[in-house]
Homo-oligomer: A and B are copies of this chain.
Amino acid sequence: MDDFKEKLTRYRNCVNDALEEAIPENGEEAVSAMRYSVFAGGKRIRAALVLAFCELFGGNIERALPFACAIEMIHTYSLIYDDLPCMDNDTLRRGKPTNHVVFGESTALMAGAGLYARAFETVIQSELLSDAQKLSGISVLLDASGINGIITGQMLDLKNRPGLSENEVMRIHKLKTSAMIEAAAVLGCVASDCGSAEKEKARRYAENIGLAFQIKDDILDVAGSTAELGKTVGKDKTEMKTTFVDILGVESSQKQVEALSESAKKEISDIKGSEFLCSLADYLAYRKS
């Protein structure tokens, strides 16, 4: 576990340095707002997935860094929009006031849009990725963040009400959360230029941990504390959203998380060097925040 934490820290530092270069402070308010949310202390799980899969399949992580930055920027953009008054109307995120609370709604809107644009620019400006890798990576990012991913997930989640079936809740989470986690794993594969069998293993691993990640979020929303999570707990209940916990209860939900984590590990455990990604699956399944 110490090796795991050390490697996670190394990945985090790498991506934080690269993000610092990709979004330098320039005195513009929209840029300050972009930086505020990008550097608000996210876990960088998506970036770590990009870098770890690139390394697992023999790629150079320098080449994967623009993808890692891009996915963190797009993830941050989706959180800024998710928190807006017309969406979930959240005031706390990662223990800090949300973007629109600090900068106002119009700046938050522009900061989100700015991050989305900057994500793709960061990929295009890479000097290590080939044209084909850039286009393939941008495609993966667009698919996960556009109408086939986050956007439809958000639309469905806005209509999430008590009484949804397990399949309906699953579909929301797949689109809203897992799509980007799968994208992260696939981006690592694109950067490593691995074969399609490897890419499919990575995608299935990520599909499993993506769903586990979201069910764990639902568990923490009822069982965690605001102090540990850095965001308002019990929100799903207040907002009358159906969660996995409503359908399965806390205990079965946790069992489901652990089963998904095991399935994820099985996809890759026979590959040399997969220890970090196996530990990551456990880390997400047993996390407290």
**Interface residues, chain A, with chain B CB atoms under 8 Å away:** 28-31, 81, 84, 86-87, 104-107, 109-110, 113-114, 116-118, 120-121, 124, 131-132, 134-135, 138-139, 142-143, 145-147, 151-152, 154-155, 158
Contacts and interface: CB of A to CB of B under 8 A. Distances in A.
A31 to B, nearest CB: 6
**For the complex formed by this chain, how many copies does it contain in all?**
2
A146 B134 contact: no
B121 A142 contact: yes
Given A120-B142, A131-B131, A131-B135, A151 B106 contact: no
Contacts of A107: 155
B31 A114 contact: no
Given A30-B152, A124-B138, A86 B113 contact: no
Nearest to A136: B124
Nearest to A29: B155
Nearest to A132: B131
Contact of A81 (B113, B117, B154): B113
